[in-house]
A and B are shown apart, each in its own frame.
Chain A
Amino acid sequence: MASSLAIVLEGLTKDYGATRALDGVDLELRAGEIFGYLGSNGAGKTTTIRCLLGLIRPTAGRATVLGLDVEDDSIEVRRRSGYLPGDLRLYPRLTARQLLDYLGRLRGGVPLARVEELARRLECDLGMRCGAMSHGNRQKVGIIQALMHDPAVLILDEPTATLDPLMQRIVHDLIREARDRGTTVFVSSHDLPEVARLCDRAGILRQGRIVAVQDVSELAQQGRHMLTIEFLEPVEPEVFERIPGVSHVTASDQTLTITASGDLDAVVKAAARFRVHALRSAEVDLDEVFRDYYRSGTADAP
């Protein structure tokens, strides 16, 4: 079965002095899947990714990419991977074309047509100096350099964090096309909805530990909403507390705040019994989802 696994992490641990950034991460990525690596800032996502690229060395444990050890066969791992750093920095004095040419040469040459095609789709001006580019445009150059050699593995650290929704969609398309050609994609994000849209499976990292790995379709069901309903008359919170899937009901004056998972139908119908002034809904933030996993997921959690 080893051949169907593209990336394997075994007890991957990284200490920075007394701080444990990664704490025995076990993870298996199947070949040809888009795997979302979810975690809040500081959870250890970038540390994991930089271990895979050989930029830092794990304190303990090991990792393989396409069966190659990331420490012993780093050159081969990097030859077959495309990488987008989380904190992307380019050479300000080079134009995008010069930069891509430089990185392409270091890879032994990259087809120019592929670069041009990616630039066209991302609407990226290759003649512009990187130093004069907006954050979003620099990010596009970073995405082009990660994809331009059609790598077998794509490792993307928060690829769309600085892009507008339209560009996000184009980047998601490019990632899916790569997956459809057989590329394995490891993409980190702190954005649950993004992972839900893009990924096949996802792992949740919290304080250097994997707390859950599941199919994204399951994760999406965990998606919950925080509803704030303003009424034009006093309401009875008990009506809402009885609805299955509803938790955290707080009422003050004529405003009600509840957290609801799954279907909102019952909640809306209950609210309709009163005169509604306004209704706002927000996705429950990732941290809340983490806390749930943390409470129920691991036996050794405090």
Chain B
Amino acid sequence: MHLDVFRRELADHRRSLIGCAVGAVLLGSMYIFFYPTIKSSGAGVEQLLNAMPKGFRDAFIGAGVDYLSPSGYLGTELFSIIVPTLLLVMGVLAGGRALAGEEQNGTIDLLLSTPIRRARLTVEKAGGALLPVFVVAAAIWVVIAVIGPSQGLSVSLGRLAVAVLAVALLGAGFGMLAFLVSSATGSAGLGGGSAAALAVAMYALNIFGSLVPALTGFANAVSPFHWDGGSGALANGVAWSGLLLLIACPIVLLGLSIAAYERRDLAA
């Protein structure tokens, strides 16, 4: 029993992992190669952005961030919506299916007739389902680190690594929520759906937090989309408190998943 379930799960995601990694690299390259053009149009873009309400501007570009700076541009274009969405969808789809999929496909009887502990199965399934999220995040780091400087996009590679890690943890966190709900109920759809719904709600809360001062404190405390630094992650860095919360959530959710799965009657 040398991580066989983990490796099997990872192998099941081979195609989607390759697809997502290639997509992320192409998308990242596209934005990188757009940068010189956008920057040369300079003042016009700034004017347009300054016409936005301050709350929107802060939400999409980051408080006090210069859009045309390398970290402002990458933060806005990649880290505010596109990369979080990609990693979140990967995490939620894989997390929802990993364990509940075996139950819905009817293969769980075969798998759990072998002498493997349910807790171990849970951990290996979660790991195999969510590792691809971190692999794609790493691919994004590589493409920015390698191609970025040639187009004038030089950012701190350490800060970039933290920002990419934070977004990956965001995707993995919602993936683990999907995993928890689906392994507790046996329904991949319910798990994925509830995690996706909560992600949308949290994203909206983060935007409202930027727009409505009365909501800011609450939204910043509750929404993972604030914890990861959002579009300001490259310019302003990711706060330790946010990073710790992003690390803690998947771990707590994994613990809950183990407890929920341990004594459940599995559907035939």
Seen from chain A, the residues whose Cβ lies within 8 Å of a Cβ on chain B are 46, 50, 53-57, 75-76, 78-79, 81-83, 85-91, 93, 102-103, 105-108, 142, 145
Please state if A53 and B107 are interface contacts (CB–CB under 8 Å). no
Q: Does B52 count as interface, using CB distance less than 8 angstroms?
A: no
Please state if A57 and B263 are interface contacts (CB–CB under 8 Å). yes
Seen from chain B, the residues whose Cβ lies within 8 Å of a Cβ on chain A are 1-2, 4-5, 8, 12, 105-117, 263, 265-266, 268
Q: Which of B5, B109, B117 contacts A53 (CB 8 A)?
A: B109
Please state if A106 and B263 are interface contacts (CB–CB under 8 Å). no
The minimal Cβ–Cβ distance linking B185 to chain A, given in whole angstroms, is 15
Q: Which residue of B lies closest to A106 (CB)?
A: B114
Please state if B107 and A89 are interface contacts (CB–CB under 8 Å). yes
Please state if A106 and B5 are interface contacts (CB–CB under 8 Å). yes
Please state if A106 and B116 are interface contacts (CB–CB under 8 Å). yes
Report the bound CA distance from A86 to B109 in whole Å: 10
* Pairs A-B, 4 closest by C-beta atoms: A89-B106, A106-B114, A79-B115, A83-B113
Q: Which residues of A contact B109 (CB under 8 A)?
A: 50, 53, 55, 83, 85, 87-89
Report the bound CA distance from A87 to B117 in whole Å: 22
Please state if B1 and A106 are interface contacts (CB–CB under 8 Å). yes
Report the bound CA distance from A93 to B13 in whole Å: 12
Q: Which residues of A contact B116 (CB under 8 A)?
A: 75, 106
Please state if B8 and A75 are interface contacts (CB–CB under 8 Å). no
Report the bound CA distance from A272 to B64 in whole Å: 107
Highest count of chain A CB atoms <10 Å: which of B12, B116, B268: B268
Q: Which of A50, A78, A85, A89 contacts B114 (CB 8 A)?
A: A78
Report the bound CA distance from A81 to B4 in whole Å: 20
Q: Which residues of A contact B111 (CB under 8 A)?
A: 106
What are 29 A-B interface contacts by the 8 Å CB criterion?
Answer: A53-B112, A53-B113, A54-B112, A55-B108, A55-B113, A56-B265, A57-B263, A75-B115, A85-B106, A85-B113, A87-B106, A88-B106, A88-B109, A88-B110, A89-B106, A89-B107, A89-B110, A90-B110, A103-B114, A105-B1, A105-B4, A106-B4, A106-B5, A106-B114, A106-B115, A106-B116, A107-B114, A108-B115, A145-B110
